[in-house]
Amino acid sequence: MAFEKVKRSEDYSQWYNNIVNNADLAEHSAVRGCMVIKPYGYAIWEKMQQELDRKFKETGHSNAYFPLFVPKSLFEAEETNAEGFAKECAVVTHYRLINDPKNKGKLIIDPDARLEEELIVRPTSEAIIWSTYKNWIQSYRDLPILINQWANVVRWEMRTRLFLRTTEFLWQEGHTAHSTEQEAIEETLQMLDVYANFAQNFMAIPVIKGVKTANERFAGAIDTYCIEGMMQDGKALQMGTSHFLGQNFAKAFDVKFANKLGNQELVWATSWGVSTRLMGALIMAHSDDDGLVLPPKLAPIHVVIIPIYRNEEEFNKVTEIALKVKLELEGKSLSVKFDNRDTHKPGFKFAEWELKGVPVRIAIGPRDVENGSVEVVRRDNKEKQIMNMADLANKINHLLEAIQDNIYLKANTFLDNNIRPADTWEEFIELLDAKGGFVSAHWDGTSETEELIKEQTKATIRCVPLQNKLEEGSCIFSGKPSVQRVLFARSY
Give contact residues for a second copy (rule: CB under 8 A). 27, 29-31, 34-39, 42-43, 46, 62-72, 74-76, 79, 82-83, 86-99, 105-107, 109, 118-121, 128, 131-132, 141, 147, 151-152, 154, 156, 168, 170, 343
Report in angstroms how near the CB of residue 290 gets to a second copy at its nearest. 24
For 472, counting Cβ atoms within 10 Å of its Cβ (0-12 exposed, 13-18 middle, 19+ buried), the class is exposed
* Beta carbons within 8 Å of 151's beta carbon, 6+ residues apart: 65, 66, 68, 122, 125, 170, 171, 172, 173
Residue 168 CA to residue 29 CA, distance in Å, equals 11
Report in angstroms how near the CB of residue 197 gets to a second copy at its nearest. 23
* Beta carbons within 8 Å of 463's beta carbon, 6+ residues apart: 208, 209, 210, 211, 212, 213, 226, 228, 486, 487
Minimum CB distance to a second copy smaller for 119 or for 250: 119
Report in angstroms how near the CB of residue 182 gets to a second copy at its nearest. 24
Report in angstroms how near the CB of residue 152 gets to a second copy at its nearest. 6
Minimum CB distance to a second copy smaller for 98 or for 452: 98
Residue 187 CA to residue 377 CA, distance in Å, equals 43
Minimum CB distance to a second copy smaller for 132 or for 482: 132
Residue 39 CA to residue 55 CA, distance in Å, equals 24
* Beta carbons within 8 Å of 218's beta carbon, 6+ residues apart: 84, 212, 224, 241, 243, 271
List b or e across 324-343, with b for residues whose CB sees 16 or more CB atoms inside 10 angstroms. ebbebbeeeebbbbbbeeee
Report in angstroms how near the CB of residue 158 gets to a second copy at its nearest. 10
Report in angstroms how near the CB of residue 136 gets to a second copy at its nearest. 9
Report in angstroms how near the CB of residue 414 gets to a second copy at its nearest. 31
Minimum CB distance to a second copy smaller for 200 or for 335: 335
Report in angstroms how near the CB of residue 84 gets to a second copy at its nearest. 11
Q: What is the DSSP string of 159-211?
A: S-BTTTB-SEEEEEEEEEEESSHHHHHHHHHHHHHHHHHHHHHTS----EEEE
The partner residues of 360 in beta bridges, in order of sequence, read 303, 378
Report in angstroms how near the CB of residue 46 gets to a second copy at its nearest. 6
Minimum CB distance to a second copy smaller for 29 or for 446: 29
Minimum CB distance to a second copy smaller for 187 or for 228: 187
Contact (CB, 8 A) for 229 and 419: no
Contact (CB, 8 A) for 90 and 120: yes
Contact (CB, 8 A) for 53 and 63: yes
Report in angstroms how near the CB of residue 22 gets to a second copy at its nearest. 14
Report in angstroms how near the CB of residue 154 gets to a second copy at its nearest. 7
Minimum CB distance to a second copy smaller for 28 or for 395: 28
Residue 39 CA to residue 19 CA, distance in Å, equals 15
Backbone angles phi, psi at 237, to 5 degrees: -135, 120
Beta-sheet pairing, 384-388 with 373-378: antiparallel
Minimum CB distance to a second copy smaller for 65 or for 263: 65
Beta-sheet pairing, 69-71 with 236-246: unpaired
Minimum CB distance to a second copy smaller for 154 or for 415: 154
Minimum CB distance to a second copy smaller for 263 or for 343: 343
Minimum CB distance to a second copy smaller for 94 or for 235: 94
In terms of phi and psi (left: phi > 0; alpha: psi -120 to 50; beta: otherwise), the region of 479 is left
Contact (CB, 8 A) for 374 and 368: yes
